[in-house]
């Protein structure tokens, strides 16, 4: 009997150990008692400034994505370095914008509730609010993320899917984060807004296999237009191009329509049509409504926002988002 009691007690303690981290996870209105106006402060700041810089909506969403894919959604993408080896310094993040915007929101929150609201939560809230204020989908953002203090350029380079990814690479990098092929297609739909630099795709126009050739998966007319009107040289690193031509300011289904016309800007866009599962997902999205796309996109965003989050004692709340030990 004593043996059974001991076993039962051991099992109970084991289960408590399992339940503990689950209970410590994110929750809606996490700051209700410690900083009741936190989410409204973020929302108001975004509302007051996004109309002057609507392109920040896509930039903040990209920042959130890049943050979550490296060490989880812990704000590590925001950390500065004097030696050039943080996530910010990695090639995928050299064109990320909005760091000052997040820091400005943090300053307002610190004035109201010092040391309470994490930089990681600010990214998650601000990116959602910015998309909503520009007419895009809404999604739930549970809070309680803590900030990380480690930020490595090499990890960003290894984990953030580059625009030159083929399907296998995309599948692997998303699976590493617990995201499936449906999430891959839906989250790629964020390319319906925003812009890119020529350097992210000119290899498809001028030197796809190293022989001065074009990517055969790219529509010839579209490629010719890009070469003549947008990116006249393989060395162009400054020109900006719409990812969803004619619709870059509207969160809609146009991106997916272009994919089926072989007019996805990046190799990673085109790759979505090379797998029967992702191609089927694209067709299903196009058969539905914009509202249906918004609903599904929201679910994938909520899933992404929970990637490897730090909660409780697992992280800190940085007082200055760009400083690891602040």
Annotated ligand binding at 129? The verdict is no
C-alpha to C-alpha distance for 86 and 125, rounded to whole angstroms = 23
Q: Any known ligand binding at 76? A: yes
Residue 89 is labelled as binding a ligand? no
Is 197 a catalytic site residue?
A: no
Q: Is 72 annotated as a binding residue?
A: yes
49 known ligand binder: no
Is 191 flagged in the annotation as binding?
Answer: yes
Catalytic, out of 49, 64, 66, 197: 66
Extract the tokens encoding 179: 């995201």
Judge whether 183 is annotated as a binding position. Answer: no
To the question of whether residue 291 is assigned a binding role by annotation, the answer is: no
213 among the known binding-site residues? no
- Would you say 197 is a known binding-site residue? no
In a 13 Å sphere around the CA of 135, the CA atoms on its Cβ side amount to 12
Residues annotated within a binding site for Ca(2+): 67, 70, 72, 74, 76, 87, 192, 244, 252
Q: Which residues are known catalytic residues?
A: 66
Residues annotated within a binding site: 67, 70, 72, 74, 76, 87, 161, 191-192, 244, 252
Residues annotated within a binding site for substrate: 161
């Amino acid at each position: 009997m004593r043996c059974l009691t001991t076993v039962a007690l051991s099992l109970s303690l084991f289960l408590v150990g399992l339940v503990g981290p689950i209970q410590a996870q994110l929750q809606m209105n996490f700051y209700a008692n410690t900083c009741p106006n936190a989410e409204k402060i973020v929302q108001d700041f975004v509302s007051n400034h996004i109309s002057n810089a609507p392109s920040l909506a896509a930039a903040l969403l990209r920042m959130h994505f890049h943050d979550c894919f490296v060490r989880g959604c812990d704000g590590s993408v925001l950390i500065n370095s004097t030696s050039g080896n943080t996530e910010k310094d990695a090639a995928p993040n050299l064109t990320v914008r909005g760091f000052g915007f997040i820091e400005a929101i943090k300053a307002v929150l610190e004035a109201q509730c010092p040391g309470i609201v994490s930089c990681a939560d600010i990214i998650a809230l601000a990116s959602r609010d910015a998309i909503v204020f520009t007419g895009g989908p809404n999604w739930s953002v549970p809070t309680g993320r803590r900030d990380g203090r480690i930020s490595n350029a090499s990890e960003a380079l290894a984990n953030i899917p580059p625009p030159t990814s083929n399907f296998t690479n995309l599948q692997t990098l998303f699976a590493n984060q617990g995201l499936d092929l449906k999430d891959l297609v839906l989250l790629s739909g964020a390319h319906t807004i925003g812009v890119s630099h020529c350097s992210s795709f000119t290899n498809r126009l001028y030197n796809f296999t190293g022989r001065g050739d074009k990517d055969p998966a790219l529509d010839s007319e579209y490629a010719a237009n890009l070469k003549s009107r947008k990116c006249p040289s393989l060395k162009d690193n400054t020109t900006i191009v719409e990812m969803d031509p004619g619709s870059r300011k509207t969160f809609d289904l146009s991106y997916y329509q272009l994919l089926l016309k072989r007019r996805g800007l990046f190799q990673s866009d085109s790759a979505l049509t090379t797998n029967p599962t992702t191609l089927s997902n694209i067709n299903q999205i196009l058969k539905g409504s914009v509202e249906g796309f918004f609903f599904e996109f929201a679910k994938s965003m909520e899933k992404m926002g929970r990637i490897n989050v730090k909660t409780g004692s697992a992280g800190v709340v940085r007082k200055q988002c760009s400083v690891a030990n602040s």
